[in-house]
Protein backbone atom coordinates (compact mmCIF):
# COMPACT_ATOMS: atom_id res chain seq x y z
CA UNK A 1 0.00 0.00 0.00
CA UNK A 2 1.37 3.41 -0.89
CA UNK A 3 1.70 6.06 1.80
CA UNK A 4 -1.31 8.40 1.75
CA UNK A 5 -1.49 12.12 2.61
CA UNK A 6 -4.20 14.75 2.60
CA UNK A 7 -2.01 16.91 0.35
CA UNK A 8 1.14 16.29 -1.69
CA UNK A 9 2.98 19.36 -2.98
CA UNK A 10 5.42 18.84 -5.88
CA UNK A 11 8.07 21.60 -5.72
CA UNK A 12 9.61 23.25 -2.67
CA UNK A 13 9.96 26.84 -3.96
CA UNK A 14 8.09 29.87 -2.58
CA UNK A 15 4.90 28.52 -4.16
CA UNK A 16 5.26 24.93 -2.96
CA UNK A 17 6.83 25.35 0.47
CA UNK A 18 4.41 28.12 1.47
CA UNK A 19 1.44 26.02 0.26
CA UNK A 20 2.74 23.04 2.26
CA UNK A 21 3.14 25.06 5.48
CA UNK A 22 -0.32 26.63 5.10
CA UNK A 23 -1.88 23.19 4.45
CA UNK A 24 -0.19 21.85 7.61
CA UNK A 25 -1.38 24.89 9.61
CA UNK A 26 -4.89 24.02 8.49
CA UNK A 27 -4.55 20.51 9.90
CA UNK A 28 -3.89 18.65 6.65
CA UNK A 29 -1.32 15.81 6.57
CA UNK A 30 1.10 17.23 4.00
CA UNK A 31 4.19 16.07 2.11
CA UNK A 32 6.40 18.27 -0.07
CA UNK A 33 8.59 16.70 -2.76
CA UNK A 34 11.56 18.66 -4.08
CA UNK A 35 14.52 17.62 -6.21
CA UNK A 36 16.97 20.50 -5.63
CA UNK A 37 20.36 20.07 -3.98
CA UNK A 38 23.08 22.45 -2.84
CA UNK A 39 26.70 22.35 -4.06
CA UNK A 40 27.42 19.45 -1.67
CA UNK A 41 24.50 17.41 -3.01
CA UNK A 42 22.30 17.88 0.07
CA UNK A 43 18.58 18.61 -0.38
CA UNK A 44 18.02 22.37 -0.45
CA UNK A 45 14.46 23.63 -0.11
CA UNK A 46 13.31 27.08 -1.25
CA UNK A 47 13.34 26.55 -5.01
CA UNK A 48 14.75 28.99 -7.52
CA UNK A 49 13.99 31.94 -5.25
CA UNK A 50 16.13 31.00 -2.27
CA UNK A 51 18.82 28.99 -4.05
CA UNK A 52 19.51 30.74 -7.36
CA UNK A 53 17.05 33.64 -7.65
CA UNK A 54 15.66 36.39 -5.44
CA UNK A 55 17.92 35.88 -2.44
CA UNK A 56 21.41 35.34 -3.93
CA UNK A 57 20.80 38.10 -6.48
CA UNK A 58 19.78 40.54 -3.75
CA UNK A 59 22.83 39.57 -1.69
CA UNK A 60 25.13 40.42 -4.62
CA UNK A 61 23.16 43.56 -5.45
CA UNK A 62 23.63 44.74 -1.90
CA UNK A 63 27.36 43.93 -1.74
CA UNK A 64 28.07 45.58 -5.08
CA UNK A 65 25.98 48.63 -4.18
CA UNK A 66 27.86 49.11 -0.88
CA UNK A 67 31.13 48.95 -2.80
CA UNK A 68 29.92 51.36 -5.47
CA UNK A 69 28.69 53.82 -2.82
CA UNK A 70 31.93 53.69 -0.93
CA UNK A 71 33.88 54.53 -4.07
CA UNK A 72 31.51 56.93 -5.82
CA UNK A 73 29.08 58.44 -3.30
CA UNK A 74 30.90 58.58 0.01
CA UNK A 75 33.30 61.35 -1.11
CA UNK A 76 30.27 63.67 -1.48
CA UNK A 77 29.59 63.07 2.25
CA UNK A 78 33.19 63.97 3.06
CA UNK A 79 34.17 60.36 3.64
CA UNK A 80 37.49 59.51 2.04
CA UNK A 81 38.50 55.88 1.82
CA UNK A 82 41.77 54.79 0.36
CA UNK A 83 42.89 51.41 -0.92
CA UNK A 84 39.32 50.17 -1.29
CA UNK A 85 39.14 46.76 -2.93
CA UNK A 86 36.52 44.13 -3.57
CA UNK A 87 37.07 40.54 -2.48
CA UNK A 88 34.76 38.69 -4.87
CA UNK A 89 35.41 35.38 -3.08
CA UNK A 90 34.23 36.87 0.22
CA UNK A 91 31.21 38.45 -1.47
CA UNK A 92 30.27 35.05 -2.92
CA UNK A 93 30.86 33.27 0.39
CA UNK A 94 28.55 35.76 2.14
CA UNK A 95 25.89 35.10 -0.50
CA UNK A 96 26.22 31.33 0.06
CA UNK A 97 25.93 31.79 3.84
CA UNK A 98 22.71 33.75 3.41
CA UNK A 99 21.28 31.13 1.04
CA UNK A 100 22.28 28.24 3.34
CA UNK A 101 20.71 29.98 6.35
CA UNK A 102 17.42 30.55 4.58
CA UNK A 103 17.12 27.17 2.85
CA UNK A 104 17.95 25.46 6.15
CA UNK A 105 15.27 27.65 7.71
CA UNK A 106 12.62 26.13 5.43
CA UNK A 107 13.63 22.64 6.58
CA UNK A 108 13.19 23.84 10.18
CA UNK A 109 9.80 25.35 9.35
CA UNK A 110 8.74 22.03 7.81
CA UNK A 111 9.75 20.23 10.99
CA UNK A 112 7.92 22.73 13.19
CA UNK A 113 4.76 22.47 11.10
CA UNK A 114 5.00 18.68 10.58
CA UNK A 115 5.30 18.87 6.79
CA UNK A 116 6.98 15.67 5.51
CA UNK A 117 9.86 16.63 3.20
CA UNK A 118 10.56 14.07 0.46
CA UNK A 119 13.71 14.41 -1.63
CA UNK A 120 13.16 13.27 -5.21
CA UNK A 121 11.49 14.10 -8.47
CA UNK A 122 7.71 13.87 -8.40
CA UNK A 123 5.63 12.71 -11.32
CA UNK A 124 1.86 12.93 -11.28
CA UNK A 125 0.32 9.61 -12.27
CA UNK A 126 -3.33 8.62 -12.66
CA UNK A 127 -5.81 8.85 -9.71
CA UNK A 128 -3.67 11.32 -7.73
CA UNK A 129 -0.80 8.91 -7.29
CA UNK A 130 2.65 10.46 -7.33
CA UNK A 131 5.76 8.55 -8.35
CA UNK A 132 8.88 9.74 -6.53
CA UNK A 133 11.95 9.22 -8.71
CA UNK A 134 15.65 9.49 -7.96
CA UNK A 135 16.58 12.89 -9.50
CA UNK A 136 19.88 11.58 -10.86
CA UNK A 137 19.00 8.10 -12.14
CA UNK A 138 15.27 8.50 -12.69
CA UNK A 139 14.74 5.23 -10.77
CA UNK A 140 11.39 4.83 -8.96
CA UNK A 141 11.85 5.15 -5.18
CA UNK A 142 8.27 5.09 -3.95
CA UNK A 143 4.70 5.85 -4.94
CA UNK A 144 2.53 7.99 -2.68
CA UNK A 145 -1.00 9.33 -3.02
CA UNK A 146 -3.21 12.13 -1.67
CA UNK A 147 -6.70 13.59 -1.80
CA UNK A 148 -5.24 16.80 -3.20
CA UNK A 149 -2.06 17.47 -5.19
CA UNK A 150 -0.49 20.89 -5.64
CA UNK A 151 1.89 21.17 -8.60
CA UNK A 152 4.54 23.87 -8.03
CA UNK A 153 7.51 22.89 -10.21
CA UNK A 154 8.55 26.46 -11.02
CA UNK A 155 10.58 27.48 -14.03
CA UNK A 156 13.99 27.26 -15.69
CA UNK A 157 15.93 29.72 -17.89
CA UNK A 158 15.17 29.82 -21.60
CA UNK A 159 18.12 28.85 -23.81
CA UNK A 160 18.76 30.63 -27.12
CA UNK A 161 19.62 28.16 -29.91
CA UNK A 162 21.98 30.79 -31.40
CA UNK A 163 23.84 31.19 -28.09
CA UNK A 164 23.82 27.81 -26.32
CA UNK A 165 24.95 27.67 -22.69
CA UNK A 166 28.39 26.17 -22.10
CA UNK A 167 28.23 26.60 -18.32
CA UNK A 168 31.47 28.58 -18.27
CA UNK A 169 31.64 31.51 -20.66
CA UNK A 170 28.02 31.48 -21.82
CA UNK A 171 25.78 31.15 -18.79
CA UNK A 172 22.26 31.63 -17.47
CA UNK A 173 21.32 33.66 -14.37
CA UNK A 174 22.68 30.93 -12.07
CA UNK A 175 26.07 31.12 -13.77
CA UNK A 176 26.03 34.92 -13.54
CA UNK A 177 25.42 34.67 -9.78
CA UNK A 178 28.53 32.52 -9.40
CA UNK A 179 31.29 34.34 -11.29
CA UNK A 180 34.48 33.99 -9.26
CA UNK A 181 36.05 37.09 -10.74
CA UNK A 182 34.78 40.28 -12.33
CA UNK A 183 34.62 39.78 -16.11
CA UNK A 184 36.32 42.67 -17.92
CA UNK A 185 33.63 42.72 -20.63
CA UNK A 186 30.22 41.20 -20.04
CA UNK A 187 27.56 40.71 -22.71
CA UNK A 188 24.00 40.31 -21.46
CA UNK A 189 21.30 39.14 -23.85
CA UNK A 190 17.95 40.52 -22.69
CA UNK A 191 17.51 43.83 -20.83
CA UNK A 192 14.71 42.46 -18.64
CA UNK A 193 14.70 41.99 -14.89
CA UNK A 194 17.57 39.49 -14.66
CA UNK A 195 19.68 41.34 -17.24
CA UNK A 196 19.32 44.66 -15.42
CA UNK A 197 19.88 43.28 -11.90
CA UNK A 198 22.84 41.03 -12.68
CA UNK A 199 24.24 43.46 -15.27
CA UNK A 200 24.20 46.10 -12.49
CA UNK A 201 26.05 43.82 -10.05
CA UNK A 202 28.98 43.26 -12.38
CA UNK A 203 28.97 46.82 -13.78
CA UNK A 204 29.33 48.21 -10.25
CA UNK A 205 32.30 45.95 -9.67
CA UNK A 206 34.01 47.18 -12.83
CA UNK A 207 32.77 45.15 -15.83
CA UNK A 208 32.00 46.90 -19.09
CA UNK A 209 28.44 45.69 -19.58
CA UNK A 210 26.59 45.62 -22.92
CA UNK A 211 22.92 44.63 -22.86
CA UNK A 212 21.41 43.48 -26.14
CA UNK A 213 17.62 43.76 -26.03
CA UNK A 214 15.44 42.48 -28.88
CA UNK A 215 12.58 44.96 -28.31
CA UNK A 216 12.76 48.54 -29.58
CA UNK A 217 11.37 49.84 -26.26
CA UNK A 218 12.94 49.55 -22.84
CA UNK A 219 11.08 47.88 -19.94
CA UNK A 220 7.76 47.74 -21.74
CA UNK A 221 5.80 46.58 -18.67
CA UNK A 222 6.54 49.81 -16.76
CA UNK A 223 4.97 53.21 -17.38
CA UNK A 224 6.85 55.19 -20.05
CA UNK A 225 7.85 58.03 -17.69
CA UNK A 226 9.43 55.51 -15.35
CA UNK A 227 11.08 53.32 -18.00
CA UNK A 228 12.55 56.40 -19.70
CA UNK A 229 13.99 57.75 -16.44
CA UNK A 230 15.28 54.27 -15.50
CA UNK A 231 17.03 53.90 -18.89
CA UNK A 232 18.59 57.36 -18.45
CA UNK A 233 19.92 56.50 -14.98
CA UNK A 234 21.21 53.06 -16.00
CA UNK A 235 23.00 54.48 -19.04
CA UNK A 236 24.58 57.17 -16.82
CA UNK A 237 25.99 54.33 -14.69
CA UNK A 238 27.63 52.89 -17.78
CA UNK A 239 25.19 50.12 -18.67
CA UNK A 240 25.38 50.09 -22.47
CA UNK A 241 21.77 49.20 -23.36
CA UNK A 242 21.28 48.52 -27.06
CA UNK A 243 17.62 48.24 -28.06
CA UNK A 244 16.15 46.47 -31.10
CA UNK A 245 19.17 44.14 -31.09
CA UNK A 246 18.55 40.54 -32.24
CA UNK A 247 21.47 38.25 -31.52
CA UNK A 248 22.23 35.96 -34.47
CA UNK A 249 25.38 34.15 -33.47
CA UNK A 250 28.19 33.75 -30.97
CA UNK A 251 31.69 32.70 -31.91
CA UNK A 252 34.99 32.27 -30.10
CA UNK A 253 37.77 34.67 -31.01
CA UNK A 254 41.38 34.97 -29.88
CA UNK A 255 40.32 37.69 -27.42
CA UNK A 256 37.03 36.26 -26.11
CA UNK A 257 33.55 35.82 -27.53
CA UNK A 258 32.04 37.70 -30.41
CA UNK A 259 28.30 38.34 -30.42
CA UNK A 260 26.83 39.12 -33.81
CA UNK A 261 23.49 40.87 -33.83
CA UNK A 262 21.14 42.72 -36.14
CA UNK A 263 19.98 46.23 -35.24
CA UNK A 264 17.84 48.32 -37.59
CA UNK A 265 18.60 45.88 -40.41
CA UNK A 266 22.37 46.34 -39.98
CA UNK A 267 24.69 43.58 -38.87
CA UNK A 268 26.67 44.55 -35.73
CA UNK A 269 29.24 42.90 -33.50
CA UNK A 270 30.49 43.23 -29.97
CA UNK A 271 33.35 41.39 -28.32
CA UNK A 272 33.00 40.29 -24.70
CA UNK A 273 34.61 37.88 -22.23
CA UNK A 274 31.45 36.30 -20.88
CA UNK A 275 27.82 36.17 -21.93
CA UNK A 276 24.73 35.97 -19.72
CA UNK A 277 21.59 34.84 -21.52
CA UNK A 278 18.61 36.39 -19.72
CA UNK A 279 15.74 36.15 -22.19
CA UNK A 280 13.05 34.82 -19.87
CA UNK A 281 12.12 31.57 -18.14
CA UNK A 282 9.92 28.63 -19.11
CA UNK A 283 7.84 26.31 -16.91
CA UNK A 284 9.72 23.30 -15.49
CA UNK A 285 7.07 20.80 -16.53
CA UNK A 286 9.17 18.34 -18.57
CA UNK A 287 8.43 14.84 -17.23
CA UNK A 288 6.09 16.14 -14.50
CA UNK A 289 2.87 14.67 -15.84
CA UNK A 290 2.23 11.07 -16.88
CA UNK A 291 0.18 10.80 -20.06
CA UNK A 292 -2.86 9.61 -18.05
CA UNK A 293 -2.52 12.16 -15.20
CA UNK A 294 -5.54 14.11 -16.50
CA UNK A 295 -3.61 17.40 -16.35
CA UNK A 296 -2.61 19.24 -19.51
CA UNK A 297 -0.05 21.88 -20.46
CA UNK A 298 -0.33 24.51 -23.17
CA UNK A 299 2.01 24.72 -26.17
CA UNK A 300 4.61 26.58 -24.07
CA UNK A 301 4.53 24.00 -21.26
CA UNK A 302 2.46 26.03 -18.75
CA UNK A 303 0.04 23.90 -16.69
CA UNK A 304 -3.50 24.88 -17.63
CA UNK A 305 -5.49 26.22 -14.68
CA UNK A 306 -8.54 28.37 -14.05
CA UNK A 307 -8.55 31.59 -12.01
CA UNK A 308 -8.56 29.49 -8.81
CA UNK A 309 -5.49 27.38 -9.78
CA UNK A 310 -7.65 24.30 -10.47
CA UNK A 311 -6.47 21.97 -13.26
CA UNK A 312 -8.85 19.85 -15.33
CA UNK A 313 -8.35 16.96 -12.86
CA UNK A 314 -10.47 17.21 -9.71
CA UNK A 315 -8.24 17.76 -6.65
CA UNK A 316 -5.14 18.64 -8.67
CA UNK A 317 -4.03 22.27 -8.43
CA UNK A 318 -1.11 24.18 -9.94
CA UNK A 319 0.57 27.40 -8.82
CA UNK A 320 3.53 29.69 -9.33
CA UNK A 321 5.88 30.11 -12.27
CA UNK A 322 4.48 27.02 -14.00
CA UNK A 323 1.04 28.62 -14.51
CA UNK A 324 -0.17 31.83 -16.18
CA UNK A 325 0.67 35.23 -14.71
CA UNK A 326 3.89 36.92 -13.63
CA UNK A 327 6.84 34.78 -12.58
CA UNK A 328 7.29 36.32 -9.14
CA UNK A 329 7.96 34.69 -5.77
CA UNK A 330 5.20 36.59 -3.95
CA UNK A 331 2.64 35.69 -6.64
CA UNK A 332 3.61 32.00 -6.25
CA UNK A 333 3.34 32.17 -2.46
CA UNK A 334 -0.03 33.91 -2.48
CA UNK A 335 -1.40 31.31 -4.90
CA UNK A 336 -0.02 28.61 -2.57
CA UNK A 337 -1.83 30.07 0.43
CA UNK A 338 -5.08 30.53 -1.52
CA UNK A 339 -5.03 26.91 -2.78
CA UNK A 340 -4.30 25.54 0.70
CA UNK A 341 -7.25 27.51 2.04
CA UNK A 342 -9.54 26.32 -0.77
CA UNK A 343 -8.54 22.70 -0.06
CA UNK A 344 -9.46 23.29 3.59
CA UNK A 345 -12.87 24.62 2.52
CA UNK A 346 -12.01 28.28 3.05
CA UNK A 347 -12.37 31.08 0.47
CA UNK A 348 -8.78 31.55 -0.76
CA UNK A 349 -8.16 34.77 -2.68
CA UNK A 350 -5.44 36.42 -4.79
CA UNK A 351 -5.95 39.79 -6.45
CA UNK A 352 -3.95 39.39 -9.65
CA UNK A 353 -4.42 43.10 -10.47
CA UNK A 354 -2.45 44.05 -7.38
CA UNK A 355 0.76 42.06 -7.73
CA UNK A 356 3.62 44.53 -7.27
CA UNK A 357 6.75 44.37 -9.44
CA UNK A 358 10.14 45.46 -8.17
CA UNK A 359 13.49 45.62 -9.98
CA UNK A 360 16.27 45.86 -7.41
CA UNK A 361 18.67 48.03 -9.40
CA UNK A 362 19.87 51.39 -8.18
CA UNK A 363 17.70 53.35 -8.52
CA UNK A 364 15.08 50.70 -7.91
CA UNK A 365 12.02 50.40 -10.14
CA UNK A 366 8.60 49.39 -8.80
CA UNK A 367 5.04 49.42 -9.99
CA UNK A 368 1.57 48.11 -9.33
CA UNK A 369 -1.56 48.25 -11.46
CA UNK A 370 -1.94 49.66 -14.94
CA UNK A 371 0.21 52.00 -17.02
CA UNK A 372 -1.21 55.25 -18.41
CA UNK A 373 -0.69 53.88 -21.93
CA UNK A 374 -2.70 50.68 -21.20
CA UNK A 375 -5.54 52.64 -19.63
CA UNK A 376 -5.74 55.14 -22.47
CA UNK A 377 -5.69 52.31 -25.04
CA UNK A 378 -8.62 50.75 -23.15
CA UNK A 379 -10.48 54.07 -23.37
CA UNK A 380 -10.35 54.68 -19.60
CA UNK A 381 -10.30 58.41 -18.68
CA UNK A 382 -7.24 59.13 -16.51
CA UNK A 383 -5.55 61.90 -14.56
CA UNK A 384 -1.99 61.47 -13.43
CA UNK A 385 0.45 63.19 -11.12
CA UNK A 386 4.23 62.92 -10.89
CA UNK A 387 6.75 64.01 -8.32
CA UNK A 388 10.55 63.85 -8.52
CA UNK A 389 12.66 62.56 -5.62
CA UNK A 390 15.04 65.47 -6.30
CA UNK A 391 12.42 67.72 -4.70
CA UNK A 392 12.35 65.75 -1.43
CA UNK A 393 14.67 66.71 1.39
CA UNK A 394 15.25 63.09 2.40
CA UNK A 395 16.47 61.91 -1.02
CA UNK A 396 18.82 64.89 -1.14
CA UNK A 397 20.13 64.18 2.36
CA UNK A 398 20.71 60.58 1.28
CA UNK A 399 22.62 61.77 -1.79
CA UNK A 400 20.09 59.91 -3.94
CA UNK A 401 17.94 62.61 -5.55
CA UNK A 402 16.99 60.62 -8.66
CA UNK A 403 13.77 59.26 -10.07
CA UNK A 404 10.09 59.96 -9.62
CA UNK A 405 6.73 58.68 -8.45
CA UNK A 406 3.79 58.65 -10.85
CA UNK A 407 0.23 58.04 -9.72
CA UNK A 408 -2.49 57.34 -12.26
CA UNK A 409 -6.11 57.79 -11.18
CA UNK A 410 -9.46 57.33 -12.91
CA UNK A 411 -10.43 60.61 -14.60
CA UNK A 412 -13.93 60.61 -13.10
CA UNK A 413 -13.91 58.56 -9.89
CA UNK A 414 -10.30 59.44 -8.89
CA UNK A 415 -9.70 55.79 -7.90
CA UNK A 416 -5.98 54.95 -8.09
CA UNK A 417 -5.42 52.56 -11.01
CA UNK A 418 -1.64 52.40 -11.14
CA UNK A 419 1.47 53.63 -9.37
CA UNK A 420 4.91 53.55 -11.01
CA UNK A 421 8.18 54.58 -9.40
CA UNK A 422 11.88 54.75 -10.03
CA UNK A 423 14.11 55.95 -7.23
CA UNK A 424 15.66 55.13 -3.86
CA UNK A 425 13.96 52.38 -1.82
CA UNK A 426 10.87 52.30 -4.01
CA UNK A 427 10.75 48.52 -3.31
CA UNK A 428 9.46 49.54 0.11
CA UNK A 429 7.40 52.58 -0.95
CA UNK A 430 5.29 50.54 -3.36
CA UNK A 431 3.69 48.66 -0.43
CA UNK A 432 1.77 51.78 0.67
CA UNK A 433 0.33 52.06 -2.83
CA UNK A 434 -0.65 48.37 -2.98
CA UNK A 435 -2.51 48.78 0.31
CA UNK A 436 -4.17 51.96 -0.92
CA UNK A 437 -5.29 50.28 -4.13
CA UNK A 438 -6.48 47.17 -2.25
CA UNK A 439 -8.75 49.49 -0.23
CA UNK A 440 -9.90 51.19 -3.47
CA UNK A 441 -8.30 54.48 -2.44
CA UNK A 442 -8.64 57.62 -4.51
CA UNK A 443 -5.65 59.86 -5.19
CA UNK A 444 -7.33 62.33 -2.82
CA UNK A 445 -7.27 59.70 -0.05
CA UNK A 446 -3.48 59.42 -0.49
CA UNK A 447 -3.20 63.20 -0.65
CA UNK A 448 -5.10 63.58 2.66
CA UNK A 449 -2.99 61.04 4.57
CA UNK A 450 -0.25 62.52 6.77
CA UNK A 451 3.20 61.38 5.61
CA UNK A 452 6.15 61.85 7.94
CA UNK A 453 8.75 64.50 7.10
CA UNK A 454 11.42 64.10 5.88
CA UNK A 455 10.78 60.73 4.25
CA UNK A 456 10.88 59.31 0.76
CA UNK A 457 7.16 58.57 1.16
CA UNK A 458 6.55 62.31 0.78
CA UNK A 459 7.13 61.75 -2.95
CA UNK A 460 4.08 59.45 -2.96
CA UNK A 461 2.09 62.08 -1.07
CA UNK A 462 3.15 64.86 -3.44
CA UNK A 463 2.48 62.71 -6.54
CA UNK A 464 -1.06 62.20 -5.20
CA UNK A 465 -1.40 65.97 -4.72
CA UNK A 466 -0.01 66.44 -8.25
CA UNK A 467 -2.92 64.41 -9.68
CA UNK A 468 -5.03 67.40 -8.63
CA UNK A 469 -2.27 69.82 -9.74
CA UNK A 470 -1.60 70.97 -6.18
CA UNK A 471 1.79 69.50 -5.31
CA UNK A 472 3.48 71.87 -2.87
CA UNK A 473 7.18 71.41 -3.56
CA UNK A 474 7.06 71.30 -7.34
CA UNK A 475 7.79 74.02 -9.89
CA UNK A 476 5.50 74.10 -12.93
- Quick check: 32 binds ligand NAD (CB under 6 A)? no
For residues 279 and 160, the answer to whether their CB atoms sit within 8 Å is yes
The binder of 458, among ligand FAD, ligand NAD, none, by C-beta within 5 to 8 A per type, is: none
Provide, rounded to whole angstroms, the least separation between the CB of residue 226 and ligand FAD.
Answer: 18
Q: How far is the C-alpha of 185 from the C-alpha of 352, rounded, in Å?
A: 39
Q: Which is nearer to ligand FAD, 302 or 387 (CB)?
A: 302
Q: Which of 349, 373, 440, 453 is catalytic?
A: 453
Residue 440 is among the residues annotated as catalytic for this protein? no
Among positions 328, 407, 419, 429, the unique one binding ligand NAD when judged by CB under 6 A: 328
Q: How many residues bind ligand NAD (CB under 6 A)?
A: 25
- Quick check: 50 binds ligand NAD (CB under 6 A)? no
Q: Which of residues 195-254 bind ligand NAD (CB under 6 A)?
A: 195, 197, 212-215, 246-247
Q: Which is nearer to ligand FAD, 290 or 380 (CB)?
A: 290
Q: How far is the C-alpha of 234 from the C-alpha of 200, rounded, in Å?
A: 8
- Quick check: 24 binds ligand NAD (CB under 6 A)? no
Helix residue spans in 73-212 (DSSP H): 88-113, 173-177, 193-204
Q: Which is nearer to ligand NAD, 26 or 162 (CB)?
A: 162
In sequence order, what are the residues at sequence separation of 6 or more whose Cβ sits closer than 8 angstroms to the Cβ of residue 52?
173, 174, 177
The binder of 122, among ligand NAD, ligand FAD, none, by C-beta within 5 to 8 A per type, is: ligand FAD
Least Cα distance to 237 among 208, 262, 261 occurs for 208
Q: Which residue is nearest to ligand FAD (CB)?
A: 154
Phi then psi dihedrals of residue 157, to 5 deg: -65, 145
Report the number of secondary-structure helices (H) and strands (E) in the chain.
Answer: 13, 22
Q: Which is nearer to ligand NAD, 10 or 328 (CB)?
A: 328
Handedness of CA 241, 242, 248, 249 (dihedral sign): negative
Q: What is the DSSP string of 14-34?
A: TTHHHHHHHHHHTT--EEEEE
Q: Which is nearer to ligand NAD, 5 or 218 (CB)?
A: 218
Radius of gyration of the chain (CA): 24
Q: How far is the C-alpha of 403 from the C-alpha of 367, rounded, in Å?
A: 13
The binder of 115, among ligand NAD, ligand FAD, none, by C-beta within 5 to 8 A per type, is: none
- Quick check: 309 binds ligand NAD (CB under 6 A)? no
Q: How far is the C-alpha of 280 from the C-alpha of 81, rounded, in Å?
A: 40
In the complex, the residues that contact ligand FAD under the rule CB under 6 A are: 10-16, 33-36, 47-49, 53-54, 57, 121-122, 152-155, 173, 194, 284, 288, 320-321, 327-330, 332, 360
Least Cα distance to 268 among 187, 194, 208 occurs for 187
- Quick check: 276 binds ligand NAD (CB under 6 A)? no
Q: Which residues carry out catalysis?
A: 453
Binding site for ligand NAD (CB under 6 A): 160, 189-195, 197, 212-215, 246-247, 278-281, 326-328, 358-360
Amino acid sequence: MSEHFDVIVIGGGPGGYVAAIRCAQLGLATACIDDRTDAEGNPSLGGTCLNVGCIPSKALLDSSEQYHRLVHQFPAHGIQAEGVSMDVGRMQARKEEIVAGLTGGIATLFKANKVAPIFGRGRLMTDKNVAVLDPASGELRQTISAHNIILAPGSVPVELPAVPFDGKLIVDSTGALNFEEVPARLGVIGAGVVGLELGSVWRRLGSEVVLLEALEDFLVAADTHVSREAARQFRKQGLDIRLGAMVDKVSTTAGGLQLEYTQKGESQQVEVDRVVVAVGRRPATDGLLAADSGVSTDTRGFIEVDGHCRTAEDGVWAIGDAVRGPMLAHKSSEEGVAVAERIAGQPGHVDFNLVPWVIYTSPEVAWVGETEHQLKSDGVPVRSGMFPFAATGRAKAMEEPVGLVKIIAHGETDRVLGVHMVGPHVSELIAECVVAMAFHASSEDLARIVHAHPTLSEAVHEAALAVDKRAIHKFG
